[in-house]
Structure 1
Amino acid sequence: MSKTQERVDPAPNGVPLPGRVAGPVVPPRVSARRRRPGVIALSLALIAAGGAGVAVLLLQVGNRTDVVTVVHDVQVGQVLSEDDLGRASIALDPAVKAVRADDLKSVVGKRAAVELKPGSLLAPVQVTKDNLVKAGQQIVPIGLEPKQIPATALVPGQEVKLVHVPAQGSSDTDKTSDGVPQTIDGRVVKASGAAPGTGIVVVDVATSATDGPTAAAWESAGNLRMVLAAPDGN
C-alpha cells in the first residue's frame, strides 16, 4: 500500500484549520542511470591512445640526429672539401645510413664515389679514399645502345670487362689460344644518362695505359662489348 500525501484545506485567511495536519510527503522516485561498462572502456582506451600518440610525437621531435649534408655539386672523383659539406639536425630513420656531423672531418679529403647534389644527405658509401682513375690509367668512353645496357645500374667504381666481338664474316683473330674472346679489365668512372632519341649511354671506363688504345680501337670499330665483373672481381 503506497503512501499518499494528505490534503490540507486552507482556511480563508491562509491558516490551516485546526485538527487537519498535513501528512508526510513522499519524495519523487529518481531512476539511477545505468552504467555501461563498454562505453567506459572505450573512453579509457581513447584517452590512452591519445596519450601514447602525443608521447611518440614528442620523442620524434626530440630525438634528432646531426648529420652531414651536401651544399655544392660534386662530380665523381672530386676531392671533398669542408666547403662542399654542411650540417643538419633531422629525425633520422634507423634504416637511413648517413654520415654523422661528428664525423665530417673524416670525409674531408676523400673522393666522391658518385655524383653528389646539393640538399642531399651524405652516405658513407658515397665517398671513397681511392682514386677511381689511378696513376698510369686511361679513360675510354664507351657508347652503349639500349639493348647493350645491363639491367643492373652502372655505378662508379664497378669492375667491368671489355670484350672484343669480331664483326660478322670476319675471322676470329682476336681470340686467345684457348678460343676465349680477348678481354680488357676496366673500372666504371662515370655513366651518363640515356641520350634523348637514341637512348645511348656513354660510360667512362678506366683501363691500363697499355689497354686504353686497344679498347678505343674496338669501340671505334663497333666491336666492343662491356660485361659486368662478378662481385669478387673475377
Structure 2
Amino acid sequence: MSKTQERVDAASSNGVPHQGRVGGPVAPPRVSARRRRPGVIALSLALIAAGGAGAAVLLLEVGNRSEVVTVVRDVQVGQVLTEQDLGKASISLDPAVKAVEANELDTVVGKRAAVELKPGSLLAPSQVTKDSLVKPGEQLVPIGLKPEQVPATALVPGQKVQLVHVPAQGATDTGETSDAAPQTIAGRVVKASSAAPGTGVVVVDVATTAQDGPTAAAWVSAGTLRLVLDAPDGSR
C-alpha cells in the first residue's frame, strides 16, 4: 500500500470526512405554537368595543346638528341688520343655548341690533329688536364735532352722553361767577358718522327729551356745545 493511501485511510479512521462526501438531509427546527393569552384577547375586545361606542356617539352628534344664524361682521348697537351681516352654520347645539334658526334668517334682517354683535358669534333672539333707538317723546339733534372735539373712545349707538354749554369765544361777561356749573343736557348717541374727507368733521345724532331738543339745537348753531361721554355706570 502506498503512503498516500495510508494517509487517506488514517484520516477516515479519525472521523474526518473525505472531501466531497455529501451529508444527509437536515431536519427543520420545530417551532412551537404561540400561546394565546386570555388577558390580551380581552383587552383587544374592549378596545374594539370602545371604538365602536365612540363612533356611535359621533354619529349621534352629527345627526343632532342644527342650522343656526351666525354673525359675520361687526354690528353696532342700533344698526339695521342686513344679509351681509349674517351667515349660517351647522353645529351641535346645547338645548340651553338659544339661537336664531337658519330658516328664520329673513325675520331678523331689517331689525336693529339691541347689543353690539361680533363676528363668529351665534345670533340670539334677544339680541335684535324692531324698536328704534329714538323713543316716543324724544328728539334727534345732529351735532357736528371737529377733529379735536371727537373723543378717542369710539361713539357707538346707545352710549350715554352729556351736552355741555360753553361760553362762546370773545363773549362778554354776563355777571355769572366763573365757578358756576355749566348747563348740561343728558343725551344718548343714536348714530355717529365717519369723519368727513378734508374736514374730519364727525356728525353725531343724539337723542334728547322733546323739551331739551330746541335748546341743544340752539347751542349747536351758536357753536357753544360740547359733547362729553358718560361713564358706563352713568357717572360723569
What TM-score results when the alignment is normalised by the length of structure 2? 0.55
Tell me the equivalent position of 1:112: 113
Tell me the equivalent position of 1:155: 156
Of the two, which has the highest radius of gyration?
2
Structure 2: how far apart are the matches of 1:179 and 1:9?
132
Output the amino acid matched with 2:89. Answer: S
Residue 101 in 1 paired to residue 111 in 2?
no
* Structure 1 segment 28-177 matched on structure 2, within 5 A: 66-69=67-70, 77=78, 88-90=88-90, 99-101=99-101, 111-113=112-114, 122=123, 127-128=128-129, 131-171=132-172
**1:178 to 1:127, Cα distance in 2 relative to 1, 3 A:** farther
Q: Residue 198 of structure 1: CA displacement?
A: 1.9
Secondary structure (helix, strand or coil) at the match of 1:143 reads strand
Tell me the equivalent position of 1:35: none
Output the amino acid matched with 2:19. Answer: D
Among 8, 30, 41, the alignment partner of 2:18 is 8
Given that 2:111 and 2:130 are in contact with CA atoms closer than 8 Å, whether structure 1 keeps it comes out as yes
Structure 1: how far apart are the matches of 2:189 and 2:177?
25
**1:139 to 1:174, Cα distance in 2 relative to 1, 3 A:** farther
Tell me the equivalent position of 1:229: 230
Q: Residue 98 of structure 1: CA displacement?
A: 8.8
Tell me the equivalent position of 2:192: 191
Secondary structure (helix, strand or coil) at the match of 2:155 reads coil
Given that 2:156 and 2:192 are in contact with CA atoms closer than 8 Å, whether structure 1 keeps it comes out as yes
Q: Residue 233 of structure 1: CA displacement?
A: 2.5
Structure 2: how far apart are the matches of 1:124 and 1:203?
28
Q: Residue 138 of structure 1: CA displacement?
A: 1.1
Q: Write the deviation string for residues 86-125 of structure 1: whole angstroms up to 9, x where unpaired.
A: 7622569xxxx994428969x8596434798xx9964678
> What's the C-alpha RMSD, in Å, of the aligned pairs?
5.1
Structure 1: how far apart are the matches of 2:123 and 2:173?
48
Structure 1: how far apart are the matches of 2:202 and 2:98?
30
What TM-score results when the alignment is normalised by the length of structure 1? 0.55
Given that 1:70 and 1:84 are in contact with CA atoms closer than 8 Å, whether structure 2 keeps it comes out as no
**1:225 to 1:175, Cα distance in 2 relative to 1, 3 A:** farther
Q: Residue 9 of structure 1: CA displacement?
A: 2.1
Q: Write the deviation string for residues 24-49 of structure 1: whole angstroms up to 9, x where unpaired.
A: x9xxxxxxxxxxxxxxxxxxxxxxxx
Structure 2: how far apart are the matches of 1:174 and 1:68?
61
Q: Residue 204 of structure 1: CA displacement?
A: 0.5
Runs of 5+ consecutive residues of structure 1 not aligned to the other structure:
1-5, 11-15, 26-54
Given that 1:67 and 1:98 are in contact with CA atoms closer than 8 Å, whether structure 2 keeps it comes out as no
**1:165 to 1:134, Cα distance in 2 relative to 1, 3 A:** same
Tell me the equivalent position of 2:181: 180
What number of residue pairs does the alignment pair up? 183
**1:169 to 1:98, Cα distance in 2 relative to 1, 3 A:** farther
Residue 212 in 1 paired to residue 213 in 2?
yes
